[in-house]
């Protein structure tokens, strides 16, 4: 059986990093004498000789220099304010010494023609913040089309001999201003400036990311590698972000605010674990007050870790780095690719149980609570990870295919309904108007899928969209945009669900992540604007609109049949308005009929009897036929019923209208 894709456009799959927010840490450009491009996480982005790379105090305040041009649809003033706010927020962390100042605009509007001079010079005293208004700079650096997936990048160059940062830069992609509002874009600015300062990624609270709920996104740190359901809360630092910055740039008051937990992660044979994520969870504030580090992030082959935490009682656990976080999304210095120790020698999740640490998996019933006071360092919180280095090598690394719903860069979710074509964000949904559905799927496994599989989308349990796919390469995604939902969705709450590999044709290493479900609300939208009425009526629009409303409320609403048609008006008024807006001939034909019935409208309002001629009735039927030719099946059915009742006289009889 062959399935086609009516009313939609499919595209060839796109190669993506396993991240949505393609950060500049993700694609650092600074391959010069002063730079390496590793991402060392859980704290510092780079280390030299067992020490985190930072800016020297003598550099403070660090000047930054915004571009002179616009950022896509954002004015230069708005874009610059986002930059200023990002630096101000990092500079406002009370336990960190970091400080900044706007050093004034760059002398030029930076474009593809002149950007090299600022991207490749790390000794000019300028830290450029470049507004790549059309994405052409990103395309020039990373290849044509790269700007469709990279929102921005940032980082700083450093001197290998001194171990200090010299200069930094950030580039923001103006293409995404068509998708993100300024609050959402603020989160990306803030994230990238974090990399500029030397912060790496963290994977705290990953279970809240893209789970369909925006309520818990406030618990996700700014330095999480990917975008969330709603990035707006990530425009400010959360406790883990502040603690990580403090670890790099501790102020004199740090001992009054933080304590420290230090320890190591080793195997039963004493070998250090390189690249385990260590998490401290504060008892009583388990969602927000989480702090993390990565074992051996100073690259000393010791398995040691350290982290600042606020005073309180803590439960600690170790966990493996998410295998999706590689390359530019990596967490820690040992996760650049799947051949590195974080993935070839992973730990299993286990809780710290003090002197009883034995390399056996520990659950919450056996944990030891660590109490930390301000100014106190609790040392020797040492984990003994299950197994030893020789027996655990290459274990638990997923192999094979894994097809999952996917949220491409700039999308709100893997499944996005919209009342407008050409957008992948959820805005106001209008009942009775055409609904366009976008959906995407990625193979996040480590092998290519060669089998044919199906992707199905359900509305309230009914299949309304589908795609047949002949295989999908590892790390690639495929998407469908603007699939026209049929039938038209009425106002109210409705549930959409995407099911990947619905016929179970592909053997996957995880068969439990093939679905995504979300409930949306379709509203009653009054799309009949004065401008549309004026184009039809051609004169005192508001006065005529008021009379039509009187017909609706004072004439039709008082009759049972009339009330039914008023309800149908609300259900399909958006679609009717859309048809009129795009078809000038249909507008003209509608205008002629409205002009003919105006005396009857006035008579209805005056309570007088109305007589409709056969000629007018014929004109009305021709108009309804014209709408039917472009209408959705649902509206077509309504129009056919109206025509039937007009011909049979039922409708006019109930409204007290005579036909001659």
DSSP character string of 222-235: TT-SS--S--GGGG
| pLDDT average, residue stretch 39-53 | 63
Q: Which residue in 342, 387, 381, 389 sits closest to 361, CA to CA?
A: 387
Task: Answer whether residue 421 shows pLDDT above 80.
Answer: no
- Please report which confidence band the pLDDT of residue 252 belongs to, taking 50, 70 and 90 as the band edges: very high
| pLDDT average, residue stretch 232-243 | 90
pLDDT at 524: 58
If one counts every other C-beta atom within 10 angstroms of the C-beta of residue 241, the result is 24
Rounded Cα distance between 188 and 201, Å, is 13
Contact 21, 226 (CB under 8 A): yes
Rounded Cα distance between 632 and 638, Å, is 10
Task: Answer whether residue 659 shows pLDDT above 80.
Answer: no
Per CATH, the architecture of 18-248 is what? 3-Layer(aba) Sandwich (3.40)
Contact 377, 318 (CB under 8 A): no
| pLDDT average, residue stretch 585-614 | 76
Alpha-carbon distance values, 579 to 490, 573, 629 (Å): 17, 10, 10
Per CATH, the architecture of 254-392 is what? Sandwich (2.60)
If one counts every other C-beta atom within 10 angstroms of the C-beta of residue 535, the result is 17
| pLDDT average, residue stretch 212-237 | 85
- Please report which confidence band the pLDDT of residue 527 belongs to, taking 50, 70 and 90 as the band edges: very low
Write out pLDDT tens, residues 195-220: 888 888 899 998 888 777 888 889 99
- Please report which confidence band the pLDDT of residue 617 belongs to, taking 50, 70 and 90 as the band edges: confident
Task: Answer whether residue 435 shows pLDDT above 70.
Answer: yes
Per CATH, the architecture of 400-523 is what? Sandwich (2.60)
Rounded Cα distance between 496 and 402, Å, is 22
> Which range, 19-33, 115-129, 233-247, 470-484, is most confident?
233-247
Whole-number average pLDDT of the chain: 78
Q: What contacts 24+ positions apart, CB below 8 Å, involve 613-621?
A: 613/659, 613/660, 614/659, 614/660, 617/646, 617/659, 619/592, 619/593, 620/593, 620/646, 621/646, 621/647
Q: Sign of the CA dihedral 505, 508, 512, 515?
A: negative
Q: Per mean pLDDT, which range of 25-29, 560-564, 574-578 is the poorest?
A: 25-29
β-pairing, 415-418 vs 436-443, is antiparallel
239-248 helix and 182-197 helix, angle to the nearest 10 degrees: 30
Whether 254-392 and 400-523 share one fold: the answer is yes
pLDDT at 37: 30
Please report which helix (H) or strand (E) contains residue 212, including its range: none
Q: Which residue in 334, 506, 309 sits closest to 404, CA to CA?
A: 506
If one counts every other C-beta atom within 10 angstroms of the C-beta of residue 461, the result is 7
Task: Answer whether residue 413 shows pLDDT above 90.
Answer: no
Alpha-carbon distance values, 91 to 42, 195, 234 (Å): 20, 14, 16
pLDDT at 304: 92
Q: Which residue in 547, 544, 525 sits closest to 536, CA to CA?
A: 544
Task: Answer whether residue 586 shows pLDDT above 60.
Answer: yes
Q: Which two tokens stand for residue 257?
A: 């605010």
3 state SS for 267-310: ECCCCECCCCEEEEEECCCCCCCEEEEECCCCCCCCCEEEEEEC
643 or 504, which is more confident: 504
Domain map (residue ranges) of the chain: 18-248, 254-392, 400-523, 530-659
3 state SS for 161-191: CCCEEEEEEEEEEHHHHHCCCHHHHHHHHHH
Kindly report the pTM of this predicted structure. Answer: 0.56
**DSSP character for 656?**
T
Q: Which two tokens stand for residue 94?
A: 């009370």
98 or 611, which is more confident: 98
pLDDT at 26: 30
> Which range, 95-109, 588-602, 605-619, is most confident?
95-109
Task: Answer whether residue 392 shows pLDDT above 50.
Answer: no
639 or 575, which is more confident: 639
Q: To the nearest whole percent, how much of the chain has pLDDT over 90? A: 26
Helix H segments across 299-347? 341-344
Q: Which two tokens stand for residue 102?
A: 């706007």
pLDDT at 399: 54
Please report which helix (H) or strand (E) contains residue 538, including its range: none
> Which range, 417-421, 432-436, 451-455, is most confident?
451-455
User: How many Å is the maximal CA-CA distance in the chain?
Assistant: 100
Q: Which two tokens stand for residue 366?
A: 């056996």
Contact 378, 261 (CB under 8 A): yes
Alpha-carbon distance values, 224 to 23, 227, 492 (Å): 11, 8, 35
| pLDDT average, residue stretch 340-362 | 81
Helix H segments across 459-583? 530-537, 541-550, 560-582
Rounded Cα distance between 477 and 15, Å, is 7
pLDDT at 24: 31
659 or 249, which is more confident: 249
What angle (nearest 5°) sits at the alpha carbon of residue 555, between those of residues 553 and 556? 75
Alpha-carbon distance values, 263 to 103, 132, 380, 632 (Å): 41, 44, 5, 65
Residues 6 or more apart whose Cβ sits within 8 Å of residue 36: 46
Q: Which two tokens stand for residue 296?
A: 């051996």
- Please report which confidence band the pLDDT of residue 38 belongs to, taking 50, 70 and 90 as the band edges: very low
Task: Answer whether residue 40 shows pLDDT above 60.
Answer: no
Rounded Cα distance between 185 and 80, Å, is 12
β-pairing, 383-385 vs 259-267, is parallel
Task: Answer whether residue 126 shows pLDDT above 60.
Answer: yes
Task: Answer whether residue 7 shows pLDDT above 50.
Answer: no
Write out pLDDT tens, residues 153-183: 777 877 777 888 888 888 888 988 887 788 8
Write out pLDDT tens, residues 288-346: 999 999 998 887 789 999 999 999 999 999 999 888 777 667 888 888 777 788 888 88
Task: Answer whether residue 142 shows pLDDT above 80.
Answer: no
Task: Answer whether residue 621 shows pLDDT above 60.
Answer: yes
Q: Which two tokens stand for residue 659?
A: 């036909």
Write out pLDDT tens, residues 626-653: 888 887 777 787 788 777 877 776 666 6
Q: To the nearest whole percent, how much of the chain has pLDDT over 70? A: 77
Alpha-carbon distance values, 531 to 261, 398, 537, 538, 541 (Å): 65, 58, 10, 10, 8
């Amino acid at each position: 059986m062959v399935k086609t894709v009516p009313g939609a456009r499919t595209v060839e799959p796109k190669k993506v990093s396993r991240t949505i927010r393609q950060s500049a840490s993700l694609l650092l450009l600074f391959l010069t004498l002063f730079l390496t491009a590793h991402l060392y996480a859980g704290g510092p982005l780079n280390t030299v000789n067992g020490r985190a790379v930072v800016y020297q105090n003598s550099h403070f305040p660090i000047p930054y220099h915004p571009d002179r041009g616009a950022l896509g649809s954002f004015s230069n003033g708005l874009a610059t304010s986002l930059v200023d706010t990002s630096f101000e927020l990092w500079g406002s962390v009370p336990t960190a010494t970091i400080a900044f100042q706007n050093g004034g605009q760059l002398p030029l509007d930076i474009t593809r023609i002149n950007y090299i001079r600022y991207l490749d010079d790390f000794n000019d005293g300028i830290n450029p913040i470049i507004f790549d208004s059309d994405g052409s700079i990103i395309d020039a650096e990373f290849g044509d089309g790269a700007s469709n997936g990279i929102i921005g990048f940032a980082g700083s160059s450093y001197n290998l001999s001194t171990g200090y940062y010299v200069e930094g830069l950030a580039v923001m992609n103006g293409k995404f201003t068509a998708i993100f509002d300024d609050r959402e874009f603020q989160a990306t600015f803030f994230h990238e400036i974090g990399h500029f300062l030397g912060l790496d990624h963290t994977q705290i609270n990953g279970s809240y990311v893209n789970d369909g709920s925006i309520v818990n996104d406030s618990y996700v740190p700014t330095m999480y590698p990917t975008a969330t359901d709603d990035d707006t809360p990530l425009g400010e630092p959360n406790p883990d972000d502040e603690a990580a910055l403090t670890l790099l740039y501790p102020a004199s008051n740090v001992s009054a605010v933080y304590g420290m937990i230090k320890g190591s992660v080793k195997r039963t044979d004493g070998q250090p674990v390189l690249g385990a994520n260590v998490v401290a969870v504060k008892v009583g504030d388990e969602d927000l007050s989480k702090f993390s580090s990565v074992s051996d992030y100073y690259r000393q082959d010791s398995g040691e870790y350290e982290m600042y935490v606020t005073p309180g009682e803590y439960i600690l656990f170790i966990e493996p780095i998410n295998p999706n976080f590689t390359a530019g999304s990596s967490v820690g210095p040992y996760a650049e690719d799947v051949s590195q120790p974080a993935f070839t020698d992973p730990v299993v999740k286990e809780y710290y149980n003090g002197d009883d640490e034995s390399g056996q998996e520990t659950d919450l019933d056996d944990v030891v609570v660590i109490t930390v006071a301000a100014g106190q360092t609790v040392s020797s919180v040492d984990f003994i990870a299950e197994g030893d280095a020789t027996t655990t090598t290459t274990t638990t690394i997923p192999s094979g295919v894994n097809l999952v719903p996917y949220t491409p860069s700039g999308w709100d979710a893997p499944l996005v309904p919209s009342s407008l074509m050409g957008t992948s964000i959820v805005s106001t949904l209008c009942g009775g108007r055409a609904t366009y559905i976008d959906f995407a799927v990625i193979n996040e496994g480590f092998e290519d899928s060669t089998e044919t599989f199906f992707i199905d989308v359900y509305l309230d349990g009914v299949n309304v969209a589908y795609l047949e796919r002949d295989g999908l390469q590892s790390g690639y995604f495929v998407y469908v945009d603007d699939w026209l939902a049929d039938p038209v969705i009425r106002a109210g709450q409705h549930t959409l669900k995407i099911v990947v590999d619905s016929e179970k044709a592909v053997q996957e290493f995880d068969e439990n992540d093939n679905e995504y479900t979300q409930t949306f609300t379709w509203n009653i939208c009054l799309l009949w604007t004065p401008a549309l009425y004026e184009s039809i009526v051609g004169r005192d629009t508001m006065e005529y609109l008021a009379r039509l409303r009187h017909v609706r409320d004072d004439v039709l609403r008082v009759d049972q049949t009339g009330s039914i048609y008023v309800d149908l008006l609300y259900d399909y008024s958006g679609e009717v308005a859309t048809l009129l807006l795009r078809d000038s001939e249909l507008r003209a034909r509608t205008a002629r009929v409205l002009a003919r019935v105006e005396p009857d409208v006035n008579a209805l309002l005056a309570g007088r009897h109305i007589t409709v001629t056969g000629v007018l009735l014929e004109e009305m039927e021709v108009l309804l036929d014209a709408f039917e030719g472009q209408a959705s099946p649902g509206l077509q059915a309504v129009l056919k019923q109206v025509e039937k009742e007009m011909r049979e006289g039922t409708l006019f009889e109930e409204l007290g209208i005579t036909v001659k």
